[in-house]
Structure 1
Amino acid sequence: MKRVVITGMDMITPLGYDMKTSFQNIIAGKSGITTISNFDASPLPVHFAGEIKAFDASAIMNPKDVKKTDRFIHLGIKTAVEAFKDAHFPEDGSIDFERFGIVGASAIGGLPRIEESAITLHEKGSSRISPFFIPASLVNLLGGHIAITLGLKGPNLSSSTACAASNHAISEACRIIMLEQADIMLVTGSESALCALGISGFASMKSLSTHNENPQTASRPFDKHRDGFVMGEGSATLVLEEYEHAIKRNAKIYAEIVGFAESCDANHITTPTIQGPLRSMQQAVKMAEKSDANFALDYINAHATSTPVGDKNETEAIKQLLVGKPIPPVSSTKGATGHCLGASGMIEAVITILAMQESILPPTINYTEADLENQCDLDYVPNQARAQKIKYAMSNSFGFGGTNGTIIFKNLAV
């Protein structure tokens, strides 16, 4: 089958409007978690999130179109356009846009627009509902708008598998290229569910941290005192390209995707198991080993959302994956960004690839005390980034419904 490489990237996170700024702040150990300012969260049980401040969608879109689309689409278009530029495609007509597709990913889609429209219906009646309400909210309109913006005429698919959506989108795009159904696939994960309904829904499940008095330290993956995740918003995009196609046009190659897999816990809608994530990682490793008999992981970007059970189970799954083998450094960057739900896997893919490029391990911030009682005792790169060459890196994403996804990247320069 065909090889798949990454030739363009971008992200927007609570730590920066662009890929470079976001990554620099993550490596510096900064937190993007603040008190919510885009709406009044004071009546809610949780007042903070990883929020992107003062984002002006009209700077990248026609103001009329901004009103017709939800914020997750705005963020997604921003990173898609920038990643497309980053790939430096020739403008001589040599790119066949009928073989250039897209997979969009979002866990929830336009939740703020749904909330707003429900209030309008209740208070003003059905005649006041915008005709753009439905297309503004649908997950697949993320890919639809990006395809229209960039002229992508190949496969146009969507992934909405909770917090594993981005990793599943990457896997699907890889399969399309490997089976020669497209030469290039743009893959965008985007999420903006920060609204009263979103916060209240997750809070009612007891999923969220409630440290309103100190938001910046509320997201603390693997730490003994973790008490739930912190919602975040953001977007990231990867340009996936068939290897020979990229070589032919002398493209910059960030990394190669050498392993990917999915699995299901088949156990509980919200409580993760150990075996489900383990199977996903095992299958991705098995795929990677076919390309290199000496394959060994140098870094794992964990899903680790800062929940008591999730972080514990992922740690144990990693231990079982690597029985008898060295366990590489493991870190979670959600302490810095919060949990961006369906966009988290794409954001963390960009972070992981940049870490490989820069030979540096991103830190797990807010790590103050080891959770030895639950055997969370790996090297989590606590609080400070660390220089290290990375040839192979794994990125995990797991979601409600027991759905799991794992991606393995290879640094071709090492």
Structure 2
Amino acid sequence: MGRRLGFRTLAAGGGALLFSAAARAQEVLAEGGAAAAPVPDPGNNAWMMTATVLVLLMILPGLALFYGGLTRTKNMLSTMTQVGAVAALAMLIWVMWGYGQAFGPEGNAFVSWGKFFLAGVTTDSTAATFSDAVISEYVFISFQMTFAAITAALVLGGIVERTKFSAVMLFTAIWLTIVYFPIAHMVWAEGGLLLEMGALDFAGGTVVHINAGISALVAAMIFGRRTGYPGEMMPPHSLTLTMVGTGLLWVGWFGFNAGSELEADGTAGLAMINTFVATAAGGLFWMLTETAMGKKSSALGLSSGIIAGLVAVTPAAGNSGPFGAILLGAVSAVICYFSVAAMKPRLGYDDTLDAFGIHGVGGIVGAVGTAIVYQPFLGGPGDGSVATGAQLWIQIVAVLVAIVWAAIGTGIAAFIARLVTGGRVDVDAERQGLDLAEHGERAYNY
């Protein structure tokens, strides 16, 4: 969760400590003692609206192109369609019950309630930032909505190329409700289990990446391997589009990380530079690892390393100095390389686009590593009030809680989706490709 300063623990990233306007600090006027409603800062509002749109850019077209390019030609459109449709579904569910379940005014350590269907939210409603400022609640709701949408879409990386569209949509609705919203509440909302424990997650290493990566792995195992895997060659059909998607993801990630400060201040600037340098280190160190293993430095390696660096720095974006961020990006790239190139073939699971290998593993590296780069001896913003070992233990516990919750919840969602819809297409449809079999379209006409 965000950063800790003195006795005040701050959430960040997707989820800030959200207090309702009624519970938030109000200024008392000198005359009459009447309370004045807090007024959103226009600059912060403008920045957060920009950051929200940047996160949307990560989904469409960023993630859609990144994932689509990694699939085979016959599944390009189905992959992009699933990404877009899942994101759209997540947005509607968010405003109906997701926001209330994650950040409602009432709740316990695991979930909240209230403000379902945005009841009581108006143009005058405000949400707290990490200072005495506030932003419009509609802006905060929109920002958080994009986090829910992209996390749900990331899970698809483990199950594309064989899963029915109907199964994907039903799975997403259940998964958001029993996995994403509770974890977001536990990590980012006041009273949440992991927030109160002192876990640091600036922009979603636990909520987004570990959550999505573990969920992708579990769903991939339940829906089963693609027909022909691993014996048949299944190379990406367009690394050009994957590179384009990578660039769009990196650009959009500045909204993801720097926006998680909820203000346009120095900490947002710190998150911004960390998003530059950790990502650069990730891309280069993945290619260096390829070279050290006797392979050629590849475009796919550069793209994969960039994403690994982005994933690792997400929980540490405002919780690390720039050189700590470089360390995280480099270490994450090396570990993720071996998780994809060695662990996946050895264990035999079919995580189609390496959602677990990069987001799950990279998220764990970043979440645990945040305890180290947070410390002032590495240039982090910590004040030394919590010992490195103590913070490291807190981070490990938070990671374990996220893994267990995501694994169990995903198992439930996937089994229900498979029971109701059949889960995956038949072998003939899979051989034909999901573009035609599921959507009646082709990505390319030639």
| TM superposition score category, shorter chain reference | under 0.3
- Higher Cα Rg, which structure: 2
> Normalised by the size of structure 1, how large is the TM-score?
0.23
